[in-house]
Amino acid sequence: MGLSSSQARLLSLTGRQHDIEYKAQKLEAQKLEMANESTQVYSEYEDALNATKIQYRTVGADGASNYVNATYQSMIDNNYLIQFGNRTVVNQTAANNYVAASGSKDYFIALQTGRVTTSSTVVGGTTEIYTADQFMHMASSGTYRLMSDIDMTGKPYSSQSLTGITLDGNGHSITGLTTALFSSLSGSTINNLNVSGNTTSKAILAESVGSNTNISNVKVSGNVNSTSGSTGALIGSASGSNINISKCSSSASVTSTGTAVGDLIGTISGGNITNCSSSGGVTAFSYAGGLIGTADNSTISNSSTTSNVTLAGSEIITAVDSGGFIGATSSSSISNCSSYGDMVNTRSGAGVTHTVAGFVGATAGVGTTISNCDSYSDVSAITDYVAGFIGCANTSISISNCNSYGNLQGTIIGGFIYAGASAGTIDNCYTSDTTDTFSNSGLTVTNTQTTPISNTIAVTSPSVSTTTPISNSDTSTIGALFDLMSQGYVVSDDVANPAKGHENDSTWFTNMVNAGELFIYQYDTTNKKYAQTNVATNTSFQEVSDETNLKKAEAKYESSMAKIDAKDKKFDTDIATLDTERSAIKTEIDTLKTVAKDNIDRTFKLFS
């Protein structure tokens, strides 16, 4: 049995209704896509609104300020430094000089300023030394000047033997020594220098010094631990004619299992010493002094020591004569000098003479004179002879205008002197210890004083300072560049430079800065270094909207939104038409369903 016309019509309308629903859903989906497109267009426009460019201030010839877009190249041209991460951009010359400098900032500065070249460091006839390697390759003679501190730590350095050398330390330091700086010096001049080390050699500066040598304004520090005699921090032994040592000091600790040991000089013969001092301390077997171990035929004046002197060991030796200032001296002249350190004899071994004293342990030879000198040293010994000022004056000696203030402890004590030869004299001297003050001396004693003699003892300290700078101009900017390069660097023309190809792109520059990939550095004249700078801290910078891109974005936004609006309106019209058609179909379907129902009801009635 076939379908009725109303049933057929109902099926047709239902199909149309499904088709309309599909079209409506498709239109709604398209409207959603349009909404998303609209959001994207606005987002692009918003990015343009927020987009900025960094600008820097320039001043015209008329004094007027003007801001221009900052680029990598413009920053370089205006003396700013650029860093990518921790790598500073430098030119090829700076990179080459940095490599050649081998870690020496001063050498880098000298190379950058053109003071020296990598092939020659001779300036005005003087060879300048900037690095440990340059120092280690000095010729055996010549004129040299330190231009930088030298650290010998870990360097394969061997003590040099030099003749006819002139070395101006220029106020700089040589540190990290494990052996003496010089094994021998003669006919040489050393001045204005700091030297430090921990050595097993006989000295830190020079193990031996010969004739015609002048050493002045030199400071030594560190430790000397030797198994040899004639050991001192400044000089082990000095012998010859015309040896002059002035305004030198030692704060080094000196220990030796030998004899003739001093904190400044182990032994000296034929020398002139003035305005020298020591403070480090001495430990030795015998003939030890706070300043000098032994001195022969020498002149010593205006010098002082605060070094403690300790005699140690149990070996049986001939003598241990030692003093707070000099262990033993022969045929020498000592004037305007003083000792302050303690003199202690802890030795237990036997010996012919075991005399220790506050100033000089023993004298020998003809013509030794000691004048206007003071001893503040406390003196003590386990079993031996003790004296406040001088131990044994074995031959003729002249002592005048001297004072002994120290506390004395020992088996046999001489308040001022323990023993002496009859040819000597003691005149106008004082001791604070009243135990057998002068009577056992054997010398002719006159004008003994019950109150101290007024001595003016002035010691001029070393003057160690830079007298020849690398340049008379301000080189701190180069030094500050060196500090940054020490963190890492990239050569401007290298392909590894991230700015390659973007040198004049202001947008790229701003984006790199805002992304934290690029940093701007400016020299700080107050702190003498390059410091990071930016828009927030530097009034010469500003960040402004990118007007050109903004106008383009506005035009694009307006055009895109007009198209979107037109499409959206058409979609709304189409959806409205579909809604009208869908409503009509629904009405007709409802009518057909009612008619169909009525027909069914009548049919059932006819057959019932």
The DSSP string of 334-353 is: EES-EE-S-EEE---S--SB
pLDDT tens digits, 410-442: 877 888 998 877 678 999 999 998 776 776 667
Residue 130 in any domain: the answer is: yes
Q: How many domains does the chain have?
A: 3
Output 320 or 283, whichever has higher pLDDT.
Answer: 283
Residue 83 pairs with which residues in a beta bridge?
88, 519
Which of 514, 545, 576 delimits the end of a domain? 545
Residue 108 in any domain: the answer is: no
Task: Identify the residue whose tokens are 């896509």.
Answer: 33
The percentage of residues in the chain with a pLDDT greater than 70, rounded to a whole number, is: 84
The percentage of residues in the chain with a pLDDT greater than 90, rounded to a whole number, is: 59
**How would residue 557 be classed by pLDDT, with cut points 50, 70 and 90?**
low
**Which pLDDT belongs to residue 353?**
59
Give the lowest-confidence range in 115-129, 358-372, 453-467, 567-581. 567-581
Residue 364 in any domain: the answer is: yes
**How would residue 219 be classed by pLDDT, with cut points 50, 70 and 90?**
very high
- Closest-CA residue to 250 (of 230, 236, 268, 271): 236
- Closest-CA residue to 430 (of 391, 369, 375): 375
Q: Are residues 265 and 339 in the same domain?
A: yes
CB 92 within 8 Å of CB 112 = no
Whether the pLDDT of residue 49 is over 70: the answer is no
Q: Are residues 436 and 474 in the same domain?
A: no
How far, in Å, CA of 220 to CA of 233, rounded? 7
How far, in Å, CA of 248 to CA of 239, rounded? 18
**How would residue 585 be classed by pLDDT, with cut points 50, 70 and 90?**
confident
Residue 460 in any domain: the answer is: no
Q: Are residues 46 and 56 in the same domain?
A: no
Residue 496 in any domain: the answer is: yes
Q: Are residues 253 and 352 in the same domain?
A: yes
Amino acid in position 575: I
CB 356 within 8 Å of CB 379 = yes
Burial class (CB in 10 A: 0-12, 13-18, 19+), 36: exposed
Give the lowest-confidence range in 16-25, 241-250, 346-355, 519-528. 346-355
**Which pLDDT belongs to residue 4?**
63
- Closest-CA residue to 248 (of 226, 238, 233): 233
Give the lowest-confidence range in 15-24, 74-83, 261-270, 527-536. 15-24
Residue 107 in any domain: the answer is: no
Pair type for strands 444-446 and 81-84 = unpaired
pTM of the prediction? 0.78
Element (H, E) at 8: helix 5-50
Output 466 or 597, whichever has higher pLDDT.
Answer: 466
**Which pLDDT belongs to residue 55?**
84
Whether the pLDDT of residue 561 is over 70: the answer is no
**Which pLDDT belongs to residue 154?**
94
- Closest-CA residue to 165 (of 126, 123, 130): 126
Q: Are residues 555 and 485 in the same domain?
A: no
CB 169 within 8 Å of CB 193 = yes
Whole-number average pLDDT of the chain: 87
Strand ranges for 81-234 from DSSP E: 81-84, 87-90, 122-123, 126-129, 142-146, 150-151, 160-163, 165-168, 173-177, 182-186, 189-199, 206-209, 213-226, 231-232
What's 100's DSSP letter? Answer: H
The segment with the largest mean pLDDT, out of 52-61, 437-446, 498-507, 592-601, is 498-507
Q: Which domain holds residue 394?
A: 116-446
How far, in Å, CA of 179 to CA of 117, rounded? 31
Q: Quick one: how far is CA 398 from the chain centroid?
A: 52
CB 318 within 8 Å of CB 354 = no
How far, in Å, CA of 472 to CA of 404, rounded? 52
Q: Are residues 165 and 178 in the same domain?
A: yes
- Closest-CA residue to 512 (of 76, 80, 85): 85
Which of 545, 560, 586 delimits the end of a domain? 545
How far, in Å, CA of 393 to CA of 91, rounded? 73
How far, in Å, CA of 51 to CA of 543, rounded? 10
Q: Are residues 71 and 121 in the same domain?
A: no
Residue 461 in any domain: the answer is: no
In CATH, what number is assigned to the domain containing residue 300? 2.160.20.110
Element (H, E) at 573: helix 547-607
**How would residue 326 be classed by pLDDT, with cut points 50, 70 and 90?**
very high
Q: What number is the average pLDDT over the span 11-35? A: 70
Sign of the Cα torsion 149, 155, 159, 163 reads negative
Q: Are residues 492 and 405 in the same domain?
A: no
Sign of the Cα torsion 140, 145, 148, 151 reads positive
> 10 Å Cβ neighbour count for 406?
28
Q: Are residues 121 and 183 in the same domain?
A: yes
Residue 195 in any domain: the answer is: yes
Whether the pLDDT of residue 239 is over 60: the answer is yes
Whether the pLDDT of residue 176 is over 80: the answer is yes
Q: Are residues 42 and 184 in the same domain?
A: no
CB 72 within 8 Å of CB 80 = no
Q: Are residues 578 and 429 in the same domain?
A: no
- Closest-CA residue to 264 (of 234, 293, 222, 304): 234
Q: Are residues 10 and 130 in the same domain?
A: no
